[in-house]
Structure 1
Amino acid sequence: METWSLLLDGFATALQPIYLLYALLGVLLGTAVGVLPGIGPAMTVALLLPITYALEPTAAFIVFAGIYYGGMYGGSTTSILLNTPGESASIVTALEGNKMARAGRGAAALATAAIGSFVAGTIATVLLTLLAPTVARLAVSLGPSDYFALMVIAFLTVGALLGDSAWRGMVSLAVGLFIGLIGVDTLTGQSRFTLGIPQLGDGIDVVLVAVGLFALGEALYVGSRLRHGELPIIPITRGWRTWMRRSDWARSWKPWLRGAAIGFPIGSIPAGGADVATFLSYASERSLAKPEYRKQFGKGAIEGVAGPEAANNAAAAGVLVPLLTLGIPTSATAAIILSAFQTYGIAPGPRLFETQSALVWALIASLFIGNALLLVLNLPLVGMWVKLLQIPRPYLYAGILVFAGLGAYAANFTTFDIGVLLVLGVLGFFMRRLGFPVAPLVVGAILGPMAEEQLRKAMQISQGDASYLVHSPFSWVAYGVMIVIIALSLWLKRRRARYEASLPAVDTVAIASLDEQIELHEPHPEVDRGRLSTTALPRVRPDDEGDDLDDSPPSR
């Protein structure tokens, strides 16, 4: 009962007119930026992070909740209408949703995506409400060695499992740990890796790391591969009959629920992520569909949009469980959200529900509100989002560079930060060119100093005895769970790879940019011996006109 009373207090705060306005602003901004082609949720959150600097913490995180959910939803519009998913989790939506749009059912695909996101997001947020306080209470009793074990789990799972190439992930993690150690050592007062530059004494701001690697690095990468040409946007037919029919509702409600059940737990574990959840949801719907509906998969089955979109949003809420209760990000987007907490001097973890109770419950309540606003706004405003898709690419990415530069300057109001941003952007560009995942670097830069602090505390308590790191039952359980997570993640990735191989008409390109102008058959350095790295996933290739109703096997 205490949980529900605290949640009601959160609603009392979040339902104030000014905070409702902030929630509306966050949803609008998140969807508007997320709907742009080639911009995924992580880049959306990183790009819009600086706009919250002038707000007080409660207002800032309510805006952030709207941006987070809006950015997650925005990719479905580009996937369905442009055949260009903004992230790996939207690939399945592009596969089935674009086929529905080409058959004149784009409105139904967008509607089932929006409603499914609302249903699954609401269910997942209820589970977050129930689980987060319990996990936080258990985490209060943990010691330094236990926290260090949790961070080792985050390092190894995120570094080794994000992508098919484990060594690339670990190299990216090592670079992130190096960046996190730059600055003055708080224990000895000695400068580390500052190269004699006084401005580096305080370290590199995590906001610069996030914006530089995601926004600037992505813009440089896409700009280097940009091609001229018009975007083939599929128009939306007006009229109520073009929306979901009774049969569509009957075929969609079970996938919505199953997607929520699959997405939330997978989103909660390290290296699970929304992309794994969406592929598992798609596989489940394909196997559970009635024979007459199973034939439509690959040609525009509505279950292939409803289930994965629900799993996508449920996984987004699942990511917040370890983030709020343990302070451990399990995805790139979660790492950027953690940096937002640190900007306000707030440390997510077991004490968060005690020290910042009003803030965290207002944030959870705003997730419910933002999810409802997302549904109310996006169904009637689809036409406006379609207009945004027509922004010329040079203007779009020039705007991203401008906002990234302004955000870097606003962090500390020094021109030195703009130079750091440029260096990080160039680093992000070359990482994408060479196929190195960016998420482990961000996680290493944020968690590295925290892991060092916990390790030093453990060594001080044990007077230098390294066996203290594995002395508690929790640490044994944690390392055992890590082995299980790695084994489970490898099995899930192999399962996903089998379904990727069975998907019709796909080409291997970089999901990191997913720019429509990239030549489909251009060799990409992220493809290693025919296998897909963490940022190299299939993009759906439009079939020839008239193939939508063809019952013949799909061409490769």
Structure 2
Amino acid sequence: MDSFYSLAQGFSTALEPHNLMWAFVGTFLGTAIGVLPGIGPALTIALLLPVTVNVDPTGAFIMFAGIFYGAMYGGSTTSILLNTPGESGSMMTALEGNKMARNGRGAAALATAAIGSFVAGTIATVGVTFLAPPIAELAFIFKPQDYFALMVLAFMSVSVVMGTSRLRGFIALFLGLALGLIGIDGQTGVSRLAFGLPDLLDGVDMTVVLVSLFAVGEALYVASRFAFAPPHLNPISGGLWMTREDWKRSWKPWLRGTALGFPIGALPAGGAEIPTFLSYTIERKLTRHPEDFGTGAIEGVAGPEAANNAAAAGVLVPLLTLGLPTSATAAILLAAFQNYGLQPGPLLFINSGDLVWGLIASLYVGNIMLLILNLPLVGLWVRLLLIPRPYLYAGILIFSLVGIWGVSNSWLDLVLMFTIGCLGYVMRVYDFPIAPVLIGLILGPMAETQFRRALAIGQGDPLTLVSTPLSAVLIAISFAILIVPYLLRKMNARTHETRTSSVDSVGEKNSDGAAS
């Protein structure tokens, strides 16, 4: 009953005219940037952080949530009509959606994506509503060693799962940890990695790093690989509504995609890629129309899109209840909370209940807005792709410079933005993941604080880090994430060698028998 009462209070906040305006702005912007390849919700929220300093926290986070949700949907439009996913979570949608568009069924693909996003987003938001408060209450029993073990798990999972190489993932993580150490040590008062520069004693501003890695690095990357060929748009044909057969084939994939996306999105490094891939695989196995897969199966659009949007809601559960970001966008949202002097976690529901429940209620409102916006305005979103990229990314760079200068009025921050932006470009070129840098930068200082507290309580005994059942389990899982993939590869290699040697020996015996 407490959740129902709190949600009702949240709706009274979310339905205020100025908050409805922020929700509309967020969903509109989110859909627009989701359509544009390379410009995701992380970049957009990072760019808006300096601008929204004077906006009240509730309105700002309602807008950020709208951007997050809108971008998850917007990527499906270009996936279907252009075979160009605007977001990584929309990659699987492109497989069948673009085939449907080429066959003249682009409207049905866009409709099932929009309705599936609405269904999954609404169901997943119900999950956030009723699961977040009890998880937040459980967090009160966490001890320092439990929090430290939880952050170690986040470090390990993000570094191992994201990117093409574990080595690159750990290099990115340690880079973020190093950036987080810059400034004055809160417990000893000693200056660390400041190199005698007074402006660095307060540490590196989070907004500078976010804007540098996403805006500057991405702009340099696109500029170095700019393609002059105009995009080829598939026509939207067949009306805006699905047939009865399309509805029949879509509703089960919507529910299955939601069931996959929400829990996986809540896991560290779960993201949207894993549940969308699993959803596509499951729908391909369960379909009664296997002949359509590869030529335009509507189940291959409905399931992954539902999983994509449900995963977006799942990300909010560990962020709001434990202060644990599980994706790059969640890390930027955590930075936004900290910019307003708020720390996500169990106390957030007590100290800032109006903000949290207003944010959760706005997710319901935003889902309805997305459905209303996206069905009739698909043609408008696709036309955004005709904006020349030089103009688009030049505008992003100028916006970044003005935003950073407006926040700090510091030349050092501009130099840092350029330097870290060049580093972001190098990481992009050599396929280093960005998320571990952000996770290390944000969670590194928090992990250090909990580590020191745990050792202080245990009088310096390192075994205190695994002295509680929860911390021992989390540390064990962390090591398993690190070691098990290596062991599995070794076992597979040995199995392959054994099979190869046995086949060779059989071949030699057969040749000897034939010779005799």
TM-score (norm 1): 0.85
Contact 1:29–1:70, Cα closer than 8 Å, also in 2? yes
Report the Cα offset of residue 130 of structure 1. 1.0
Contact 1:45–1:71, Cα closer than 8 Å, also in 2? no
Residue 492 to residue 39, structure 1, CA distance change in 2 (3 Å): farther
Q: What residue is the counterpart of 2:197 in the other structure?
A: 197
Letter in 2 for 1:122: T
CA deviation digits over 1:261-305, x for unaligned, max 9?
000011111122100010000001000000xx2111111111111
Report the Cα offset of residue 399 of structure 1. 1.4
Q: What residue is the counterpart of 1:469 in the other structure?
A: 465
Cα distance in 1 between the residues matched to 2:388 and 2:436: 32
Residue 414 to residue 125, structure 1, CA distance change in 2 (3 Å): same
Residue 47 to residue 209, structure 1, CA distance change in 2 (3 Å): same
Q: What residue is the counterpart of 2:474 in the other structure?
A: 478
Q: What residue is the counterpart of 1:497 in the other structure?
A: none
Counterpart among 243, 246, 254 of residue 244 in structure 2: 246
Q: What residue is the counterpart of 1:61 in the other structure?
A: 61
Which structure: larger Rg?
2
Letter in 2 for 1:332: A
Cα distance in 2 between the residues matched to 1:349 and 1:483: 25
Matches within 5 A, 1:167-316: 167-237=167-237, 240=239, 242-290=240-288, 293-316=289-312
Q: What residue is the counterpart of 1:328 in the other structure?
A: 324
Report the Cα offset of residue 38 of structure 1. 2.5
Report the Cα offset of residue 486 of structure 1. 6.5
Unaligned runs of 5+ in 2: 490-516
CA deviation digits over 1:392-443, x for unaligned, max 9?
1111111121222222223323333222111111010001112211110111
Q: What residue is the counterpart of 1:408 in the other structure?
A: 404
Report the Cα offset of residue 485 of structure 1. 6.2
Cα distance in 2 between the residues matched to 1:406 and 1:115: 38
Residue 188 to residue 484, structure 1, CA distance change in 2 (3 Å): closer
Q: 2:340 aligned with 1:344, yes or no?
A: yes
Letter in 1 for 2:13: T
CA deviation digits over 1:356-403, x for unaligned, max 9?
111111111111111111111111111211221110111111112122
Cα distance in 2 between the residues matched to 1:384 and 1:492: 48
Contact 2:34–2:87, Cα closer than 8 Å, also in 1? no
Report the Cα offset of residue 89 of structure 1. 1.6
Contact 1:150–1:478, Cα closer than 8 Å, also in 2? yes
Contact 2:156–2:481, Cα closer than 8 Å, also in 1? no
Report the Cα offset of residue 41 of structure 1. 3.0
Report the Cα offset of residue 186 of structure 1. 1.3
Letter in 2 for 1:440: P
Cα distance in 1 between the residues matched to 2:445 and 2:49: 22
Residue 486 to residue 368, structure 1, CA distance change in 2 (3 Å): farther
Q: What residue is the counterpart of 2:110 in the other structure?
A: 110
Contact 2:73–2:114, Cα closer than 8 Å, also in 1? yes
Per mean C-alpha deviation after superposition, the further-off stretch among 273-282 and 103-112 is 103-112
Q: What residue is the counterpart of 1:49 in the other structure?
A: 49
Q: What residue is the counterpart of 1:90 in the other structure?
A: 90
Q: 2:28 aligned with 1:24, yes or no?
A: no
CA deviation digits over 1:143-177, x for unaligned, max 9?
11111111111111111221231111011100000
Give the number of the structure whose residues are more often helix, by fraction. 2
Q: 2:474 aligned with 1:443, yes or no?
A: no
Residue 443 to residue 307, structure 1, CA distance change in 2 (3 Å): same
Cα distance in 2 between the residues matched to 1:115 and 1:160: 34
CA deviation digits over 1:471-530, x for unaligned, max 9?
11221232244456679999999xxxxxxxxxxxxxxxxxxxxxxxxxxxxxxxxxxxxx
Q: What residue is the counterpart of 2:156 in the other structure?
A: 156
Residue 98 to residue 205, structure 1, CA distance change in 2 (3 Å): same
Cα distance in 1 between the residues matched to 2:294 and 2:45: 32
Query: What is the percent sequence identity of the aligned residues?
Result: 61
Contact 2:82–2:233, Cα closer than 8 Å, also in 1? yes
Q: 2:7 aligned with 1:11, yes or no?
A: no
CA deviation digits over 1:103-131, x for unaligned, max 9?
11111111111111110000011011111
Residue 471 to residue 153, structure 1, CA distance change in 2 (3 Å): same
Contact 2:272–2:308, Cα closer than 8 Å, also in 1? yes
Q: What residue is the counterpart of 1:538 in the other structure?
A: none
Letter in 1 for 2:453: K
Q: What residue is the counterpart of 2:373 in the other structure?
A: 377
Q: What residue is the counterpart of 1:365 in the other structure?
A: 361
Contact 1:161–1:486, Cα closer than 8 Å, also in 2? no
Cα distance in 2 between the residues matched to 1:488 and 1:103: 44
Cα distance in 2 between the residues matched to 1:44 and 1:466: 42
How many residue pairs match? The answer is 489
Report the Cα offset of residue 49 of structure 1. 3.3
Cα distance in 1 between the residues matched to 2:487 and 2:314: 20
Residue 21 to residue 487, structure 1, CA distance change in 2 (3 Å): farther
Matches within 5 A, 1:496-511: none
Contact 1:276–1:492, Cα closer than 8 Å, also in 2? no
Cα distance in 2 between the residues matched to 1:492 and 1:6: 47
Contact 1:38–1:84, Cα closer than 8 Å, also in 2? no
Cα distance in 2 between the residues matched to 1:446 and 1:283: 35
Letter in 1 for 2:394: A
Letter in 2 for 1:312: N
Residue 235 to residue 402, structure 1, CA distance change in 2 (3 Å): farther
Contact 1:34–1:44, Cα closer than 8 Å, also in 2? no
Report the Cα offset of residue 7 of structure 1. 0.8
Residue 407 to residue 72, structure 1, CA distance change in 2 (3 Å): farther
